[in-house]
Structure 1
């Protein structure tokens, strides 16, 4: 599970993607895992959005005529991944605290706010439990 990884572990994973050209699944998981780090700074947020946009452009570049993805789009997503990785690496072992409450899909897993609260609009499976 990538969402539980530290900033430096995610930076390593982003940089490792260079060795797995056109791995859309890996890019998708890294996009989801790095999303919550965007709240750590405006610069990281902008780099994460750029990575996400480049990832989507790469995924959309598939051509049935060529039977593959655009190498130019791959290069762009890797540039964005390396920039995001450098910013995440500076955070070191920082991890995003995530909600461990049960939800209808399993463990909630959404990032907690700075005050430690989950703001899920989908609800939690234990919400109807009477705790009196």
Structure 2
């Protein structure tokens, strides 16, 4: 599961996406898994946002009225490589995530610095 991967494992996965062109599912999962790492530094946050933007631009290029899918893919891969380069030095760092039950399974949202989940949707074990 991508949400439980270390920063280095996510960096590896981001780099491997280039071997499966136009794999929108992998890009989407990696986008979600890397969002919380964006809070680690301004540079990492910017790289994560650029990756997310490039992923969405690629997705739109695949639509019937889209644009140049190959160029959009290249830009997404460039953003993925940049994000991977910034994640790799974090090594074994993981994002602590909520394991409380929710309607879809474990909540999975990143925990705050104080170890609390701030889910606006709620958990099944809450009154």
TM-score (norm 1): 0.92
Q: Matches of 2:88 and 2:60 in 1, distance apart?
A: 29
Deviations 1:4-23 (A, max 9, x none): 00000000000000100010
Q: Give the corresponding residue for 2:72.
A: 73
**CA positional deviation for 1:64:** 3.6
**Aligned to 2:62, what secondary structure does the other structure show?**
coil
Q: Matches of 1:31 and 1:57 in 2, distance apart?
A: 13
Do 1:6 and 1:93's aligned partners in 2 also have CA atoms closer than 8 Å? yes
Change (3 A) 1:62 1:41: same
Structure 1 residues 44-123: aligned runs within 5 Å: 44-64=44-64, 70-123=69-122
Quote the RMSD (CA, aligned, Å): 1.6
**CA positional deviation for 1:98:** 0.3
Q: Matches of 1:108 and 1:63 in 2, distance apart?
A: 31
Q: Give the corresponding residue for 1:40.
A: 40
Do 1:98 and 1:110's aligned partners in 2 also have CA atoms closer than 8 Å? yes
Q: Matches of 2:125 and 2:65 in 1, distance apart?
A: 50
**CA positional deviation for 1:63:** 4.9
Q: Give the corresponding residue for 2:27.
A: 27
Alignment gaps of 5+ in structure 1: none
**Aligned to 1:76, what secondary structure does the other structure show?**
helix
Structure number with larger C-alpha Rg:
1
Do 1:63 and 1:69's aligned partners in 2 also have CA atoms closer than 8 Å? no
